[in-house]
Amino acid sequence: MIIRFDKVTKRFGQVVALENVSFEIKQGEFVFITGRSGAGKTTVIKLILAEFQPTEGEVWVGDYCLNRVKKKEVLALRRQIGVVFQDFRLLTNRTLKENILLALRVAGYRQPDWPEKLAQVLKLVGLEGREEFFPAQLSGGERQRACLARALIVEPKILLADEPTGNLDPETSWQLMDLLTKINKKGTTVVMATHNFDIVNSLRQRVIKLEAGQLVFDKKRGKYE
């Protein structure tokens, strides 16, 4: 699925979150979206998820133009996109296991397949043995990985990660990046918003840099500048 922004502007009242931004991300790419706080990174991610629509311009995901898509199609699209939210968005009154399985339920996976997938994904993010913990009983980094596990368990075509290393120590951050790279190698598009310049500079992937809502550069093997 191709993600395409076509002269996208997003305003919240007086605030201009994005202004005339255009880019295209192909299936299987790994893209960093960088920029200072308030530059509009989260806004890009939310537009892809169709949490809201652009004020001007068009956002395309696969065959769908999100400006004029049916509600049902949005939901179907979301089931193919995994998201690691900046604020996790785990259900506080459900255990880690229930939170992760929720994604499978929503996507309509058969129950016999659940335990195997759960075990796989818990191992992947290193949360084995924490199944019965509630989000409040997990550390910030563990919550972030829980959120990643929920995103990955449905084997999404696109993985959106908003500041996934924000709460992690450098070592764990690198483990997570290894994970994302692995997933990307399997063909999943990874779009990651971050201001961790260490990671961006080391991995040398495509970088889209935003500044006050404007796209300032889009480089193939970019650095954090």
Binding site for another protein (CB under 8 A): 49, 51, 71-72, 74-81, 83, 85, 89-91, 93-94, 101-103, 105-108, 111, 150
Question: Residue for token digits 């195997």?
Answer: 116
Q: Is 42 in the site for Mg ion (CB under 5 A)?
A: yes
Tell me the closest approach of the beta carbon of residue 143 to ligand ATP, in angstroms.
17
User: 170, 112 in Cβ contact below 8 A?
Assistant: no
Residue 68 half-sphere exposure toward CB, CA atoms < 13 A: 3
Q: Least CB distance from residue 107 to another protein, whole Å?
A: 7
Minimum separation from the CB atom of position 102 to another protein (A): 7
User: In this complex, which beta carbon is closest to ligand ATP, that of residue 43 or of residue 184?
Assistant: 43
**144 in contact with ligand ATP (CB under 6 A):** no
Among 28, 38, 62, 126, binds ligand ATP (CB under 6 A): 38
The item of ligand ATP, Mg ion, another protein, none sharing an interface with residue 35, based on CB under 5 to 8 Å by kind, is ligand ATP
Q: Which stretch binds Mg ion (CB under 5 A): 8-16, 22-30, 85-93, 149-157?
A: 85-93
Strand partners, 215: 210
- The smaller minimum CB distance to another protein, of residues 49 and 199, is found at 49
Question: What residue ranges bind Mg ion (CB under 5 A)?
Answer: 41-42, 86
Question: What residue ranges bind ligand ATP (CB under 6 A)?
Answer: 12, 15, 17, 35, 37-43, 86
